[in-house]
Amino acid sequence: MARLIMKFGGVSVADGNRLRHVGDLVKLFSDENEIVLVTSALQGVTDELLSSAQAAARGGNVDEVTAFMKRLTDRHNQAATDAIKNPDIRNEIMAVIAQRLSELEKAYIGICYLGELTARSVDYISSYGEQLAAPILSGVLRDMGIESRYYTGGDAGIITNAEYGNARPLDKTYALIPERLCPIRGVPVVTGFIAKDEKGATTTLGRGGSDFTASLIGAAINADEIWFWKETPGVLTTDPKLEPSAKTIPSISYREAMEMSYFGAKVLHPRAIEPAIKKGIPVRVKSTFDPESPGTQIMQKDVQKADIIKAVTLSSNVALLNLSGAEMIGTPGVAGRVFTALAHAGVNIIMISQGSSEANISIVIEEKHLEKAEEALQEEFPRDIVREISRNKDVCALAVVGSGMAGTPGVAGRVFSAMGRTGINVVMISQGSSEHNISFVVSSADAKRAVQELHREFGLGGERGGD
């Protein structure tokens, strides 16, 4: 008997049919395991709640609010109708939905009249997506003969500071969660994303916060594993749209998973699994389409692969900035000024490289930050030490990830020989001393070919029997 946390979100909870499928998946594992379910809002609902709140504050149009409430009511009632067969359970859940929506409507109307939207009201309002989804899922489980209760994050013991929109759990959360949820009876369904502050006001854990909720609960009740159900077969060796032979990686370390997410493999946000990492609880990415397959296990231990590299990732929405000037050589503080200026402008830096000649510094940033990054740098260096700032949007950043490369000579050699062999020009290179990834920049036109070549070089599609 293992203790598992299962988290469902996005498309997996889009409508009644999908919710029913969630019930089937839980049932498949509930005989042999203790399960706590964490759910997101029905797909897209959080976005709609937020944009309607902004519209209400701006326009104060009560009719629009009424129309939106009607759409929300219909969608959730439809989901309950499609997913719950027993009329008693269905009616009970629909009454809960009606009750919660009438509370929500009052809040929207208040916003219409006040014309303002505080961070605290945003959290209150955006919490309703999960607050509507959890009762339905719990009803589905009961409909299938599984005992179940639903909880808000606050009811389940998640108490945070009052930093609305991005609240952090207080230490006592770790003691409160087991008090509220254990001993586990049936399959409790907990809302992801939302919590309470010490005064009882609703808080949220940041967009996409349901993953964090799942990790937090898993850490607090010492789960054996935390399962993130997705519409993908697990964590892949690369994007199958770029390389059709991409395979599911059976096992990666927390460290490797983090290196991959920084480079655009939208697996799990590193911050979301932090509580699991702290307690060393393995995390698993499972496919809703293929529940029997083990998916990808993410854990503390590094299981090294003979061919060292586990994945190749590609970020396309990046741009390269290059700062150069002869006076940069031997002048202390230039790099410091560059990074401070970018930080003040709110520009996130993805890669950095400076050769020992010191005559130039290259930086990779998100393409959408390019304008403000350039402005900030021009203001900081009005034609003094930095002579020239050039930019290139037509680039992509690649990373090869694998902890086995630490201390293994020859990996960089293989990466760049592969590029040389196919005539791909490498524009910039960066490797941190952790040696868990080698990142480099190529022009956008070469990116796909570069990914394919590296995937082949390191046997990731199985061509060389790497595993």
The window from 163-171, 204-212, 275-283, 416-424 that contacts ligand ASP (CB under 6 A) reads 204-212
Cα–Cα distance, 234 to 267 (Å, whole number): 8
41 binds ligand ASP (CB under 6 A): yes
210 binds ligand ASP (CB under 6 A): yes
Judged by CB under 6 A, which of 3, 149, 207, 271 binds ligand ASP?
207
Q: Which residues contact 253 (CB under 8 A, 6 or more apart)?
A: 298, 299, 300, 301, 302, 303, 403
Q: Are 38 and 218 in contact (CB under 8 A)?
A: no
208 binds ligand ASP (CB under 6 A): yes
Residue 372 amino acid letter? K
269 binds ligand ASP (CB under 6 A): no
Containing 285, the helix (H) or strand (E) segment is: strand 283-287
Residues in the chain: 467
Judged by CB under 6 A, which of 12, 30, 46, 203 binds ligand ASP?
46
The window from 38-46, 354-362, 376-384, 438-446 that contacts ligand ASP (CB under 6 A) reads 38-46
First-to-last alpha carbon distance for the chain, in angstroms, is 30
| Nearer of residues 68 and 458 to ligand ASP, judged by Cβ | 68
CB of 315 to ligand ASP, least distance (A): 22
- Outline where DSSP puts E strands in 62-155: 150-151
- CA-based radius of gyration for the chain: 25
Q: Which residues pair with 287 in a beta bridge?
A: 230
The window from 202-210, 238-246, 347-355, 397-405 that contacts ligand ASP (CB under 6 A) reads 202-210
Alpha helix (H) residue ranges in 84-226 = 87-114, 119-126, 128-143, 173-181, 210-220
| Among 428, 432, 433, CA closest to 390 | 428
The window from 206-214, 261-269, 307-315, 366-374 that contacts ligand ASP (CB under 6 A) reads 206-214
Q: Are 127 and 191 in contact (CB under 8 A)?
A: yes
The window from 207-215, 291-299, 340-348, 421-429 that contacts ligand ASP (CB under 6 A) reads 207-215
CB of 214 to ligand ASP, least distance (A): 9
Cα–Cα distance, 154 to 228 (Å, whole number): 21
271 binds ligand ASP (CB under 6 A): no
Q: What are phi and psi of 96, to 5 degrees?
A: -65, -45
209 binds ligand ASP (CB under 6 A): yes
| Nearer of residues 129 and 404 to ligand ASP, judged by Cβ | 129
Q: Residue 381, CB half-sphere, CA atoms under 13 Å: how many?
A: 25
Q: Which residues pair with 437 in a beta bridge?
A: 401
| Nearer of residues 207 and 448 to ligand ASP, judged by Cβ | 207
Judged by CB under 6 A, which of 40, 202, 237, 392 binds ligand ASP?
40
The window from 203-211, 290-298, 390-398, 408-416 that contacts ligand ASP (CB under 6 A) reads 203-211
Judged by CB under 6 A, which of 192, 233, 275, 404 binds ligand ASP?
192
Mode of pairing for the β-strands spanning 251-253 and 296-299: parallel
138 binds ligand ASP (CB under 6 A): no
Residues that bind ligand ASP (CB under 6 A): 9, 40-41, 46, 129, 192-193, 207-210
